[in-house]
Structure 1
Amino acid sequence: MVPMIGVQLYGMWVYTFGGGGGTPTTGSDQGSTPLWLEHVVGLAEMVRDVAPMVIVVLFFQYVALRRKLSHPLRVAVGFVMVLVGLYAFVVGLTMGLFPLGTQMAEQLIDRGVPALILLFALLIGFATTMAEPALVAIADQAENVSPAGINATAIRLVVATGVAVGIALGVYRILSGGPLHYFIMVSYAVVIVLVVLAPKYIVALAFDLGGVTTSEVTVPLVTALGIGLASAIDGRSALLDGFGLIASASIFPIISVLLYAIALERIPRLRKEST
Structure 2
Amino acid sequence: MNEALQHFIAITVGTVLDVLPIAGILIGFQFLVLRRPIKNPKEVLFGFLLVLVGLVLFLEGLDLALFPLGELMANQLTSPTLLDLPTDGSLVQWHHYFWVYLFAASIGFSTTIAEPSLIAVAIKANQVSAGAISQWGLRIAVAIGVAVGIALGCYRIISGTPLHWYIMVGYVVVIVQTFYAPRSIIALAYDSGGVTTSTVTVPLVAALGLGLSSNIPGRNPVMDGFGLIAFASLFPIMSVMAYAQLSEWRTARKNR
Instruction: Give the TM-score taking structure 1 as reference length.
Output: 0.85
- Determine which of 118, 121, 133 is the counterpart of 2:101: 118
User: In structure 1, how many angstroms separate the alpha carbons of the residues matched to 2:235 and 2:186?
Assistant: 14
1:90-105 alignment, distance < 5 Å: 90-105=59-74
User: In structure 2, how many angstroms separate the alpha carbons of the residues matched to 1:196 and 1:186?
Assistant: 16
Q: Which residue of 2 aligns with 1:266?
A: 249
1:85, distance to aligned residue in structure 2 (A)? 1.0
Unaligned 5+ runs, structure 1 = 1-30
Q: Which residue of 2 aligns with 1:9?
A: none
- Alignment of 1:243 onto 2:226: yes
Unaligned 5+ runs, structure 2 = 84-95
Aligned letter for 2:221?
Answer: A
Q: Which residue of 2 aligns with 1:255?
A: 238
- Determine which of 108, 111, 115 is the counterpart of 1:132: 115
User: In structure 1, how many angstroms separate the alpha carbons of the residues matched to 2:41 and 2:175?
Assistant: 47
Residue range with higher mean Cα deviation, 172-181 or 106-115: 106-115
CA displacement, residues 26-83 of structure 1 (integer Å, 9 cap, x when unaligned) = xxxxx9x654343333212111111111111011111101111111122112111211
Aligned letter for 2:141?
Answer: V
Identical counterparts, % of pairs: 50
- Determine which of 29, 37, 55 is the counterpart of 1:68: 37
User: In structure 2, how many angstroms separate the alpha carbons of the residues matched to 1:179 and 1:197?
Assistant: 29
Instruction: Give the TM-score taking structure 2 as reference length.
Output: 0.91
Q: Do the aligned partners of 2:11 and 2:60 also contact (CA within 8 Å) in 1?
A: no
Shift in CA distance, 71/180, structure 1 to aligned 2, threshold 3 Å: same
Q: Which residue of 1 aligns with 2:206?
A: 223
Q: Which residue of 2 aligns with 1:58?
A: 27
CA displacement, residues 146-186 of structure 1 (integer Å, 9 cap, x when unaligned) = 26812111111111111100000000111111100001000
1:31-46 alignment, distance < 5 Å: 34-46=3-15
Q: Which residue of 1 aligns with 2:153?
A: 170
1:137-216 alignment, distance < 5 Å: 137-146=120-129, 149-216=132-199
Aligned letter for 2:226?
Answer: F
1:129, distance to aligned residue in structure 2 (A)? 0.6
Aligned letter for 2:72?
Answer: Q
- Determine which of 46, 53, 69 is the counterpart of 1:77: 46
CA displacement, residues 9-38 of structure 1 (integer Å, 9 cap, x when unaligned) = xxxxxxxxxxxxxxxxxxxxxx9x654343
User: In structure 1, how many angstroms separate the alpha carbons of the residues matched to 2:218 and 2:111?
Assistant: 29
Structure 1 stretches of at least 4 aligned residues deviating more than 4 Å after TM superposition: none
Q: Do the aligned partners of 2:189 and 2:241 also contact (CA within 8 Å) in 1?
A: yes
Partner of 2:221: helix, strand, or coil?
Answer: coil
Aligned letter for 1:80?
Answer: L
User: In structure 2, how many angstroms separate the alpha carbons of the residues matched to 1:49 and 1:66?
Assistant: 25
User: In structure 1, how many angstroms separate the alpha carbons of the residues matched to 2:4 and 2:148?
Assistant: 41
Shift in CA distance, 70/148, structure 1 to aligned 2, threshold 3 Å: closer
Shift in CA distance, 155/50, structure 1 to aligned 2, threshold 3 Å: same
- Alignment of 1:107 onto 2:76: yes
User: In structure 2, how many angstroms separate the alpha carbons of the residues matched to 1:157 and 1:192?
Assistant: 22
Aligned letter for 1:166?
Answer: G
User: In structure 1, how many angstroms separate the alpha carbons of the residues matched to 2:75 and 2:4?
Assistant: 29
1:84, distance to aligned residue in structure 2 (A)? 1.3
Partner of 1:215: helix, strand, or coil?
Answer: coil
Q: Do the aligned partners of 2:8 and 2:60 also contact (CA within 8 Å) in 1?
A: no
User: In structure 2, how many angstroms separate the alpha carbons of the residues matched to 1:37 and 1:131?
Assistant: 31
Residue range with higher mean Cα deviation, 264-273 or 41-50: 264-273
Q: Which residue of 2 aligns with 1:21?
A: none
